[in-house]
A and B are shown apart, each in its own frame.
Chain A
Amino acid sequence: MPNHFLSAFILIPAIGFLLSLVIPKKNENAIAWTVFAAVLVNFVIAVFYDVLWIYQGSNVVDERDLLLYHSEHYEFFIDFHWDKISLVFFTVGTFLVLLVARYSQYYMHREPGYKRFFNTLLFFYLGYSVAVLSGNIETLFVGWEFLGVSSFLLIAFYRDRYLPIKNAVKVFSIYRVGDIGIILAMWLSHHLWNQNVTFAQLSDVSGVNSVLSEHSLIGVFIAMAVLVTAAAKSAQLPFTSWLPRAMEGPTPSSAIFYGSLSVHLGVFLLLRTFPIWQSQFSARILIGGVGFMTAIVASGIARVQSSIKAQIAYGSASQIGLMFIEIAMGWTDLVLFHFAGNAFLRTYQLLVSPSTVSYLIREQFFNFHPSAKSVESYFPKRLAATFYVLGMKEFFLDGALYRFFWHPFKIIGRKLNFLRGWKLAILLSGMLSLPLLHYSSAINLSHGVMHTLSSMFALLGVVMVLKSFTEREKVFEAWWLVIANHVVVAIAISLNENYSMSHNLIYLSGIAIGGLSGYALLSVLKSREGNINLDRFHGFVKYYPKMSMAFFFCCLALSGFPITPTFIGEDLIFGHIHEDQIGLAVLVSLSFILDGLSLIRIFARVFLGPSVRSVYESSYRSS
């Protein structure tokens, strides 16, 4: 095999993606063929590669590709990896994307947003490929972020209706919760291995065990972080209810994302990280337990769903629960087999879901038995009724997540409402004065005090972004608070450890670009449309599509999305949090998570949703 062969699998869709961006909207066929061709080329090469690889003895390939940052202590590089897990996930995924691209070429004909759909589909495929071919957590995280954003864009495909936007934000927020797990795992593994460790290194079981035996607590913590991420992405308890709600886009996108590929990435993550937690019995119990509960609860919910897509979604989630059990048992080959079967089955079921009307009505016409009953009719009455209501209310999963997770944040954010304007300025300058005095050598603070100060700044950062997240009216305030949050985080870390200022510069470079350009765009919008209130959706994308896209990129830059150096900066910054400072790490990652959420909320409220101008042009809220 030639060197850097695996990166070709990324390069091809990446080139296709860039090409698909520049083709004019009206040229449907060119758009569809570009996307189709990119995936087809990948598919053909993948099949050859699969065969050759197996023929040559199935040796794990680790390919170190792009060195993005290098210093004495630390390297940040892109790495690709090929083993049977990558083989199955990559080949199955490419095959399904290929079919769906072909399917959509005709299905999406004349749909406003045809180009957007194909752009996003290929972007998704790019992210998926990066993730399943990734050779270290950093690379995986890049793919992961791509998937999150393309997910948001495809759920919110019908961007002038209320429910798709609402659900897109909802799903994005759960993905974001998942990200916290990856960020923390990334941070901890840095400290365990003092570099960004590759999966190839991790597959050396004895090596991993020797490292982990010294830090058993960290090992457990990594396993937990990975489980949260996997559960969120694969719609396991307690996150399951997002999956049916994601079915807002065109049917083929729902099929490829939530029926097959995106939703199985949690399974992929567990398979990839298997060496880390395989010798931890407690982690295996936990993973199996989550899978088991989900399998039971989700199939219980699936049984009472009366809409076809919700039924398929819950049916699929329950199968993924079984896969979690299989992974926990260590049956990795079975999982791969199970994944492929489930992905194929659910894609097809979703794609033919509109046929259920003609098919089942005909079945009913000819085979109707008024007395036909399901097994539950043999349950005691009270038990049956209780389970029915629970199933119908989805075991309160949708409400609970809001109530116990987001709602507290909102309440705290609103409680902090008094903290604005000059009060905030006084607090900030007060807090800043201490370190300034320290650095100007006016006073000398001990390490302990500095660390406490650092945590206080991190907390302040969280407070700021919470306020941004819960801001109901002023869009500029919400925007500035996110920028301020990043600055405060940089200060917090600087206080924690002495390190080169260049790390902060790398970290803040993207923030500055994204933040200032976003501010400029909002100002232009305000000058044309008057005040923009965050209390409702405005739907400005209809009138300012280009500005909307630019603003979206600003949001991405500001949230540390891997399009600016900020992404590497975040990783660098994290490296300066010590492994015993879990509290600080959680606060900083919470900041990152909430930043992303607040930004996507601002974007959604300002540019998406029903038009603010006139209801005569938009659909009903409930539709």
Chain B
Amino acid sequence: MLHTKESINSFDLGKAIDALMHQLPAQAPLKDFIHHNTLHAFQDLPFQDGIRAASRRFGYRVLLPLKEYRMAYQSGRIHDDILSRVVCEQKGKDRKDFWLDQMVSRVFDVPEPPRIGLLRGLWKRNHKIDLDSLVHPILFRLLCNFMDQGISIWSFPVTNMPFLDAVRKLEADSAVSLFRTKLGREIFMNRDIGILELLEQLVSSEDKYAQYLFDQQFAHQGWSGMVATVQHQPNTLLDSRQITLEDVIFLELALEIDALEYALGNEWKPLSDYALMSVPDLFEEVPVSELEEVLFLWHLAYEWSYYDTVLGGIHTPNPELRGRRNHSFQAIFCIDDRECSLRRYLENEDPNCYTYGTPGFFGVEFYYQPIYGKFRTKLCPAPVNPKFLIREVSTDTIRKRDFHLGKEAHSFLGGWLVSQTLGFWSALKLAINVFNPRFQPGAASSFQHMSKQSALEIERVSDERESDLLVGFSCEEMANRVESTLRSIGLVDDFAPIVYIVGHGASSTNNPHYAAYDCGACSGRAGSVNARVFCEMANKQEVRGLLHEKGIRIPESTQFVAALHDTTCDEIEFFDEATLSQHNTQMHKEHVLLFQNALAKNARERSRRFINVDSNLNVHELHKQIKMRSITLFEPRPELNHATNAACVVGRRDLTSHLFLDRRAFMNSFDYRVDPKGDYLFPILRAVAPVCGGINLEYFFSRVDNQKMGAGSKLPHNVMGLFPVANGIDGDLRPGLPSQMIEVHEPVRLLVVVEHFEEVILEVIQRDAATYEWFKNEWVILAAAHPETRAISIFHSGRFTAYSPAYSPPEVKDIDTYILQHTDAIPVLKIA
């Protein structure tokens, strides 16, 4: 889309707006925070070219600064042998020394400026007029007030019509104009005037229109991106609004003309051809600079220095293959990288258990409606559109209120009373919360998502539909879902007496980005409802019968138990324990203890990353401190979420159970023997690429350019209309991740390792063009691990090439002590 000059020679408004919508940041409102590739618009290009185009066009920094790579080389993070291998492969053996010299010691000039904003910048250059400061404040106010979800006490007077009509109505009704000049008001109110007419007044040459619109919208990419997202999915605002990017462009063009008229009177003309010629074309391709080549070489060396350790680890035979029979229990976790270490500790506590990983909605997709809820929540990956509704039919939850977060104190009489009375209560409350934090009504807790006592309506009893949704699942539908999930992870026989289905969520206080910490496979919610729904399905007699017909025999004594793991406080809650048989109840009690121990150790492992927690405390004291983080008002890092994620392993647990992966790997269980043709592998990879790849690249780009692609520090953030954050009151929205979430992240693309035969993988990834794009263009790196020999091969330019890792992981005896001595990333280790 608009990557080349030819495509925009004659101006097509629809096309230009489509291109804009595609390239603007696509972050949904905070409550639906879903990770995605920040540069998704450039994904049709190979990674190297895509990031370069984005950088040259929009001024993003797309890799680390040269200094950081050089430092990584000096510190040994970039390995020497990998570096020379990368340079030889990319540039040829004879040019190796030249490039190495460039990389290590050359001083480069400051790169030429990006092209965005140069054209519209002519106003400032030629007329000394700062359009942004005249236009942005009122534009942002109008947008925020119109879309506001409940901060203002007096909401926008007209919300039941499209944005432009609503603003026009307000303007018509008001005695005070939104515009500074008569001309501005007239052109805005005149419905015969369109974007093209306004552009004609501002820019003399039609072939610069598209560039002008890009300049204009990327001057506030946060707001424009939000509008584009809301236009695309109106339901993402609970109190929905009709707004389009086209509306915004029209309003902004009118405001620009208004501002020019105001500042310059009649003394301005459209930007002339002459002036336009001095500005380089935004969409033109730019030759690669040596600095860019050097940076990319460094980056490859940086990535491969890590990849090589993972591949080396997987290549190392696992001495102790876990028994495949008579497990004490089995536990299915989310694919999430944060579950990686918990699984290891659990297996450590009970060597006879077996753990699995699969996307945390467990293959059951639906909308969920709590009993008193006025809305529904989607509980499955974002791109899926479920046809089912799960309703909560009873609960014991009582929601507490907090007057500080209400609006009573802002009116002057209400405020007079509140400040003189409750004001003193605030002092006490603040003092208590500062010295002894406790749970607040304003906090987000994963256990709040659904109460333990809640009853759900899971089986469909009638064909009644609620706005097109079927209420509950039929047995047939249940059996299909349970079967696919079980087959995809390779759990088709040898069921243990108890199979835990562990969803996950997170808890935090004073954190507008709370949804980003929850389960991505549940659209940024906790996975408890999904876990319960899955268990009820799998425990149902009729479903078991149907499964039996499909060849999966689950013994009658086997019971599925749902649980929710809170990744912030490392606590767990089990659901429906009363339905367990007597024998299983006994067993379960023992398992609960195992889980508790594993969780405490997991918390200890996490603590090594928090500088202000002393990891040498005893494990329970540490656990307490970790729990505290989720309820503390002043803790901007309740947990580190997906930071440091770097790999994704699709295969049997035996591939990794002997390795210490430092919570950096997504792990999806898969058994090639159950799926020789790759029919279950296909949906796994179709989800892994956008979900794990999306998470990975959002962290990647937020890390390398935290100012332009990330949200900057969260400490000055101001909540706008309940759906985004901005800095101060007049700033643009800040999509992306705040610096507190990414500061420990190492930007490397996701390495996906699949345990299957090359030819099967090759065929599977090409089944779907969108999935194939991820691998082909190397926005994620794909490796195959031979199921029998553990031979590694790498996917590059459409085929697999054999790869022999240089690294063989050192064996560490007392790994728990070892890791606590380090606060930085730890390479892959072999657990002795």
A250 touches B715 (CB 8 A): yes
Least CB separation from A246: chain B residue: B728
In the assembly, what is the distance between CA of A500 and CA of B150, in Å?
66
The size class of the interface chain A forms with chain B is 35 or more
Q: Does B126 contact A (CB under 8 A)?
A: no
A344 touches B423 (CB 8 A): yes
Q: A342-B419, A345-B422 are in contact. Are A303 and B409 (CB under 8 A)?
A: no
Residues of B contacting A363 in the complex (Cβ-Cβ under 8 angstroms): 150, 399
Q: Does B151 contact A (CB under 8 A)?
A: yes
Q: Which residues 65-81 of B have a CB within 8 angstroms of A?
A: 65
Residues of A contacting B372 in the complex (Cβ-Cβ under 8 angstroms): 366
B374 touches A368 (CB 8 A): yes
The distance from the CB of A549 to the nearest CB of chain B, in whole angstroms, is: 22
In the assembly, what is the distance between CA of A489 and CA of B291, in Å?
55
Q: Does A455 contact B (CB under 8 A)?
A: no
Q: Does B431 contact A (CB under 8 A)?
A: yes
B152 touches A303 (CB 8 A): yes
In the assembly, what is the distance between CA of A250 and CA of B173, in Å?
39
In the assembly, what is the distance between CA of A398 and CA of B658, in Å?
64
* Interface core residue of A28, A252, A357, A398 (most chain B CB under 10 Å): A357
The distance from the CB of B59 to the nearest CB of chain A, in whole angstroms, is: 5
Q: Does B716 contact A (CB under 8 A)?
A: yes
Residues of B contacting A298 in the complex (Cβ-Cβ under 8 angstroms): 412
Q: A392-B145, A614-B110 are in contact. Are A366 and B719 (CB under 8 A)?
A: no
Q: A161-B727, A307-B721, A318-B412 are in contact. Are A368 and B238 (CB under 8 A)?
A: yes
A306 touches B144 (CB 8 A): yes
Which stretch, B35-43, B219-227, B533-541, touches the partner chain A? B219-227
Q: A302-B411, A622-B219 are in contact. Are A359 and B144 (CB under 8 A)?
A: no
A360 touches B419 (CB 8 A): no
A623 touches B734 (CB 8 A): yes
A305 touches B152 (CB 8 A): yes
B717 touches A354 (CB 8 A): yes
Q: A95-B427, A158-B716, A360-B405 are in contact. Are A307 and B416 (CB under 8 A)?
A: no
Residues of A contacting B720 in the complex (Cβ-Cβ under 8 angstroms): 306-308
Q: A347-B426, A616-B59 are in contact. Are A370 and B152 (CB under 8 A)?
A: no
A623 touches B426 (CB 8 A): no
Q: A344-B427, A358-B514 are in contact. Are A249 and B170 (CB under 8 A)?
A: no
Which stretch, A131-139, A377-385, A526-534, touches the partner chain B? A377-385
B59 touches A247 (CB 8 A): no
Q: Does B430 contact A (CB under 8 A)?
A: yes
Residues of B contacting A311 in the complex (Cβ-Cβ under 8 angstroms): 151-153, 407, 410
Q: Which residues 277-326 of A have a CB within 8 angstroms of B?
A: 295-296, 298-299, 302-315, 318-319, 321-322
A321 touches B412 (CB 8 A): yes
Residues of B contacting A616 in the complex (Cβ-Cβ under 8 angstroms): 55, 59-61, 111, 114
The distance from the CB of A395 to the nearest CB of chain B, in whole angstroms, is: 9
Residue from B137, B238, B412, B728 within 8 A of A247 (CB atoms): B728
B634 touches A103 (CB 8 A): yes
B399 touches A621 (CB 8 A): no
A620 touches B732 (CB 8 A): yes
A365 touches B373 (CB 8 A): yes
Q: Does A548 contact B (CB under 8 A)?
A: no
A364 touches B441 (CB 8 A): no
Q: Does B545 contact A (CB under 8 A)?
A: no
In the assembly, what is the distance between CA of A167 and CA of B222, in Å?
20
B238 touches A365 (CB 8 A): yes
In the assembly, what is the distance between CA of A370 and CA of B152, in Å?
15
Residue from B150, B423, B443, B633 within 8 A of A103 (CB atoms): B633
Which stretch, B330-338, B575-583, B705-713, touches the partner chain A? B705-713
A319 touches B416 (CB 8 A): yes
Q: Does B200 contact A (CB under 8 A)?
A: no
Residues of A contacting B441 in the complex (Cβ-Cβ under 8 angstroms): 359
Q: Does B636 contact A (CB under 8 A)?
A: yes
Q: Does B175 contact A (CB under 8 A)?
A: yes
Q: Does A580 contact B (CB under 8 A)?
A: no
B427 touches A351 (CB 8 A): no
B633 touches A351 (CB 8 A): yes
Residues of B contacting A365 in the complex (Cβ-Cβ under 8 angstroms): 238, 370, 373-375
Residues of A contacting B153 in the complex (Cβ-Cβ under 8 angstroms): 302-304, 311, 374
B510 touches A352 (CB 8 A): yes
The distance from the CB of A314 to the nearest CB of chain B, in whole angstroms, is: 7
In the assembly, what is the distance between CA of A155 and CA of B720, in Å?
19
Q: Does A245 contact B (CB under 8 A)?
A: yes
Residues of A contacting B424 in the complex (Cβ-Cβ under 8 angstroms): 340-341, 344
Q: A111-B713, A360-B151 are in contact. Are A106 and B612 (CB under 8 A)?
A: yes
* Interface core residue of B152, B374, B429, B431 (most chain A CB under 10 Å): B152
In the assembly, what is the distance between CA of A104 and CA of B636, in Å?
11
In the assembly, what is the distance between CA of A249 and CA of B30, in Å?
22
Interface string of B87-116 (1 = CB under 8 A from A): 000000000000000000000001101100
B416 touches A306 (CB 8 A): no
The distance from the CB of A336 to the nearest CB of chain B, in whole angstroms, is: 11
Q: A307-B720, A351-B430, A620-B707 are in contact. Are A357 and B30 (CB under 8 A)?
A: yes
Q: A163-B731, A616-B59 are in contact. Are A319 and B419 (CB under 8 A)?
A: yes
Residue from B402, B634, B729 within 8 A of A359 (CB atoms): B402
Q: Does A447 contact B (CB under 8 A)?
A: no
Residues of A contacting B727 in the complex (Cβ-Cβ under 8 angstroms): 158, 161, 163-164, 248, 623
Residue from A110, A341, A357, A621 within 8 A of B722 (CB atoms): A357
Least CB separation from A294: chain B residue: B412
In the assembly, what is the distance between CA of A103 and CA of B634, in Å?
6
Q: A110-B743, A356-B151, A358-B444 are in contact. Are A367 and B374 (CB under 8 A)?
A: yes
Q: Which residues 724-768 of B have a CB within 8 angstroms of A?
A: 726-732, 734, 740, 743
A341 touches B421 (CB 8 A): yes
Q: Does B197 contact A (CB under 8 A)?
A: no
The distance from the CB of A328 to the nearest CB of chain B, in whole angstroms, is: 15
Residues of A contacting B636 in the complex (Cβ-Cβ under 8 angstroms): 107, 109
Interface string of A100-123 (1 = CB under 8 A from B): 001111111111000000000000
Q: Which residues 159-174 of A have a CB within 8 angstroms of B?
A: 161, 163-164, 167
Q: Does B509 contact A (CB under 8 A)?
A: yes
In the assembly, what is the distance between CA of A620 and CA of B733, in Å?
11
Q: Does A244 contact B (CB under 8 A)?
A: yes
* Interface core residue of B137, B415, B726 (most chain A CB under 10 Å): B415
Q: Which residues 238-260 of B have a CB within 8 angstroms of A?
A: 238-239
Q: Which residues 235-270 of A have a CB within 8 angstroms of B?
A: 244-245, 247-252, 254
Q: Does A195 contact B (CB under 8 A)?
A: no
Residue from B132, B145, B635 within 8 A of A622 (CB atoms): B132
A392 touches B374 (CB 8 A): no
In the assembly, what is the distance between CA of A304 and CA of B407, in Å?
12
Residue from A99, A322, A617 within 8 A of B434 (CB atoms): A99
Least CB separation from A348: chain B residue: B426
Q: Which residues 507-559 of B have a CB within 8 angstroms of A?
A: 509-512, 514
Q: Does B662 contact A (CB under 8 A)?
A: no
Least CB separation from A373: chain B residue: B155
Q: A163-B730, A303-B153, A303-B154 are in contact. Are A353 and B719 (CB under 8 A)?
A: yes
Can you list 29 A-B contacts (CB < 8 A)?
Answer: A107-B635, A108-B715, A109-B611, A161-B727, A163-B727, A251-B715, A252-B634, A299-B411, A303-B411, A304-B153, A306-B145, A306-B152, A315-B411, A318-B412, A343-B423, A344-B423, A344-B424, A347-B426, A349-B409, A351-B510, A358-B444, A361-B722, A364-B150, A376-B154, A376-B157, A386-B173, A615-B114, A622-B222, A623-B222
6 further A-B contacts with Cβ under 8 Å, apart from A247-B718, A348-B404, A364-B374, are: A106-B635, A311-B152, A340-B423, A352-B510, A359-B402, A622-B222
Q: Which 4 pairs across A and B sit closest by C-beta, in order of nearness?
A: A341-B423, A355-B442, A385-B173, A619-B707
Interface residues of A (CB under 8 A from B): 28-29, 95, 99, 102-111, 157-158, 161, 163-164, 167, 244-245, 247-252, 254, 295-296, 298-299, 302-315, 318-319, 321-322, 337-338, 340-349, 351-368, 370, 374, 376-377, 381-382, 384-386, 388-393, 398, 613-623
